[in-house]
Structures are given as structure tokens and as C-alpha cells.
Structure 1
Amino acid sequence: MISRIKHWILPFFSLNKSEQYGILVLTVIVLLLILTNLLMPLFVSPGQNTHLEAFKNEIEAFKQIQQSKHDSIYIEDLQNSGMLEMEIALQKIKPIPFNPNKLPDEIWLKMGFTPTQVKNIKNYEAKGGKFYRKEDVKKLYSISDAEYQLIEPYIQIKSPYQTKPAKENPKFIKTESKRILPTEINSADAGVLENNLGINPWLAKRVIDYRTLLGGFRHVEQLLEVYGMKPETWEKIIPFISVDTLLIIKIDLNAVTFKELLRHPYFDYETTKSIIDTRKKIKSYSSLDQLHQVPLITDSIFQRIAPYFFIQE
């Protein structure tokens, strides 16, 4: 019985020389593959993977910059055609008190209008156009409703029918120097700023508006960012100003929307888009230091914007 089983099984294990050679070659190949896999880390420089990753990051940054440029051109086209919406206009337009009649080009540009818009305004004036009322500015097709709403409070046009007040006799004019009082800049309202610091009502309102957009002042130098704040006025009032940074309203970096972030004075369209795109890429920010990964944000920009963010635990 056993001999029969051997006679039946043994033929399956008997190999000729060709088959034996094939198995030997196959075994050698398998061993070489195993050795290659084990020894590969010894011959491949770790820096090669790092360089590859850096190259990929550069490509991604380049794509984002190109997209930002495309978006900038698109926004400028909207602005030139008078179709700019309020969210973008808040970032572009920085009005100061002005008379639009024969206003120098550089002032229009300083307020955030494009060269094309300024050219259209000058063409209007060259054809005999004149601004008699604030509403006349609104008639310019290249200025959107949003832009007009922002600049309207700052338009100062003297009516030709306005009568001049009678001059007072200097002998009967009482002059007294207004006393400047200590003021905490993050809690004071416009009335307090006007009364305590002796600044104009429109400038006091502008300080409050800018503080609201910022979320609060961190230092007195930021007052120079307020349009209309003259250096001599600033130097006069800063000895009396204190800043309570605990009153700053910070932004949740992982919850803020694109439109909300764009309203902040320190974030233009390109930077806002980069911050939001990076957040989508990494799912969420775990620390403020990750803002360094955002394209367009340099160390100086980081130092400027980081105090206005927080990350919800």
C-alpha cells in the first residue's frame, strides 16, 4: 500500500535540471529584491525627499500667486466698470475729506481708485463737467454705488449760493486753549475723542470706524493709519492716549469666513484667499505659527496680524 502511494506522489517532486535551474534563479531574484528593499535607505539621501516636497510647495505657491493675480485683474475690471461690491470696496477705498472738483490725480489714487477711474473723472472735467452737489459724483458710471456710499460722507463741495457769515470783530473774540484729557483709545466713543483730545468730529468718527474694522488698537502708532490723521495732530495727542489691548476683539482663525476676514484693514483679497485656502488644505490651524505656511505672509506681516487672531480650543 505504501509503495503504491510513493509511486503515485514522487513523480510530482522529481524535477529535471531545467526546472531546478529555474527555481534557483527565481530564489536568487527574490533574495535580491528583499536585500534591495532593506539596503535602499542606506543609499538614498533623506534630503532628496525634502527637496521634492519643497519643489511641490513652490509649484503650489506659484499656482496660488497666479490665481491671486488673476483675481486682482478681475477685481480691477469690476472697479473700472462701476460694479464693485461693498465687501471689496471696504478694502479698496480709503476716503479722506475732499472736494472732487479739480482734485489732483494722486489724491484719487491715494483713496483707492484705479488709474482708469481717475482718467474717466478727468475726461468728465475736461468736457466741462463739474460737481455742484455730492450726488453729482454718483453720476460717474465708473464709480459703483458701494464706492459712493463710502466716500459720500467725506465729499466737501461748497455751494455757490452759500452766503458767507459776517466776520466778527477780533476784539470781541475770546480765545482759550482747549485742555487735552487722558483717553483710553479702545473704549472711548467719538464724543469722548472729540472732547478729550480736541480733534474734529469727522476725524473722531474715522478713528472709531477704523477701530471697529481692526477689532481694536494695539499701539498708538496705529492711529497714523487712520486717514486724515495728520502727524502734527498725532504728536499732540499721543501723550494723553493709553491703549488697553485686553479690549481687542480677536478673530477665530478656524471659524472666520472669507468675507469677514476681508473686511479687516490688514487683509487684502490675495492674503485673505491664501489664508482661507491654506486652512482648507490643512483642515484647520492648530497654532498661529502655521500662518507662516501661508503664501504671501512674510515675518513682518505675521507680526502685524497675529495679535488679531486666536484659535478656539
Structure 2
Amino acid sequence: MKKQWMQWIQYAFGYNRTEAKGFILLLMLLFTYFSIYLYIWLSPSKSSLAFTQNQLNQNSELVSLIETAENPPSRFKSFEKKEEEAHSSIPIRLHSFDPNVASVEELEELGMPPWLAKRIDRFKSKGGKFFKKEDLLKVYDFPETLYQKLIPYITISVPQNDKFAKRSFILQEKTPKTPAKFDLNTVDTTRLIQLKGIGSKLAARIVKYRDVLGSFVSTSQIREVYGLDSLVVEEILRYGYINNPQVRKINVNESSFEQMKHPYLKPYIAKAIVNFRNQHGKFQSIQDLKAIKLLTPDIIQKLEPYLSF
């Protein structure tokens, strides 16, 4: 029985006899460790009872914290109430205003809450400007109902020195650039970051995966790059193509275990290929790899463009 297990492990994992013995010893040690662990865990002791009591105390403290969060002390409620009353005490006076020059106090008079008026003021202090009425809705959390009420009173006056900026902004909106087609095997990061949703990190990751792969042979392989969502993949497939790829191949009969580095070749599979070759001789074609049980038809199909014999 032991001999059969030894032969099965050698065949399945590509181990020699010494490695197989070490693997069996490791399994025995793991089984002993977990047996001792289960015995200690299932045995009742004072320490476990103390831990349970400590856990109950922590749970009671957690419940207390949740109740405090749901029912804050009266001092916090009174502060919030005073802030709301202070804002509600400001009389609403609708009048014509220019959001580019209106102060925080003027914006509050129009019915804007203090946080919104201050947010608009911070936007302007950083150089932001409103060129049309609809630009107000670009302010984060600007209420649609408030905007509809203020439309008749909004007047936008662009300063003379800002007219050129406004004109160029409108032209950019009307004439968006259409990216040109590119070969996925020759494109660089500068070209990739022009696509929607791709920054410098994703662009570098795409180029790096292409280099490790040894060139793309199918556009669908772009889906294998880590971190690309479906929208980014669609954007790449829309402009990317593959034409006469120069694939870097691995010689199965000459390469050592260290030389068989490829995204489709796991280390244990590469080791199984080398051991099988040493025991049975060189491979004649891709069909010979089917004798290695660890290589599924799907893996063989993906590897075929990257192997030579």
C-alpha cells in the first residue's frame, strides 16, 4: 500500500523518490499537529470560561456604544438644533445674483444651507468659475429643487480676461479627440493613457504583462491583465488590434526548470514537464504533452503559441 502511494505521488506531482518521502512525512506532521489542536480546543478549561466571560463583557460594552451612537447625548443634539435654528432664522430673499462674485452670506440669503454656500466659496477660492447656469449642478450635492427655484435669478458675467478660456473650453467640448487604432504588441504607455479609464499605473501593467507573456496572440488576452474592469477592456478592444505578433517561445526540449517561466506555466507544471522529459525523452509535438496529467486541454491550448519543440 505504501509503495502504491509513493508511486502515485511521484506521478501526480513529478517528485522523485526522496521528494515523495518528504511529502508523506510532511502530511503526517500536519495530521499530528491538527489532532493535538482539536484535542486542546475541544477540552473545557478555566481559561476558555474566562475568555467567554471576557467576550460577554466586550459585547455589553459594544451594545452600550451602539446605543450611545443611536441616541447621542443631549449636548450634541442641542448643538445641532442651534445650528439649524440659526440657519432657519436667516430670512430668504430671492434676487438676481452672480455665483462667481456672490459672498457666502448672499448665497445663504437665497436659501442655500451654510455647507453648500461654503462649498461654492471654496470652489471659487481655488480658481473655479461658473460659465453657465447649469455649472451650479456640478457642485457636489447641489439640490435639484433649489436649482430649479434659483434659475430665474442666476446671472453669469464672465470677466473679459476669461472669455478666451471660456471659448476654448466650449471648443474642446464640441470637438472631442477620437483615439487612433493601435497594435497591442507595439503600443506604449503614452498612447494607452489617452484611453478612458487608463492611468499611468494600468498602462504600465498592460505593457509589463505583454512582456512577461511574450506578446499577445489574441486581443481577448487583454482581459487577463489584473485590475482592468469591463469598461476599460471594451475601450482597449475598440481601438486595439494584433498584426503579425512576434512571439517569444520556450523550447520545451532544451529549457531548464528556471527557464520555463510563463504566466500559463505554474512552477509545479514546469517541474512535471522537465521530470517527464528526463524519464521518457524529448517531446516531438504538442500532442506529447497530453501524457502529463497536470496539463489540461485548456492549458495546452493556451500554451501552444508559446512553445517550440
Q: Which has the higher contact order (CA 8 A, sep 6+)?
A: 1
Name the TM-score, length of structure 1 as normaliser. 0.45
TM-score, structure 2 normalization: 0.46
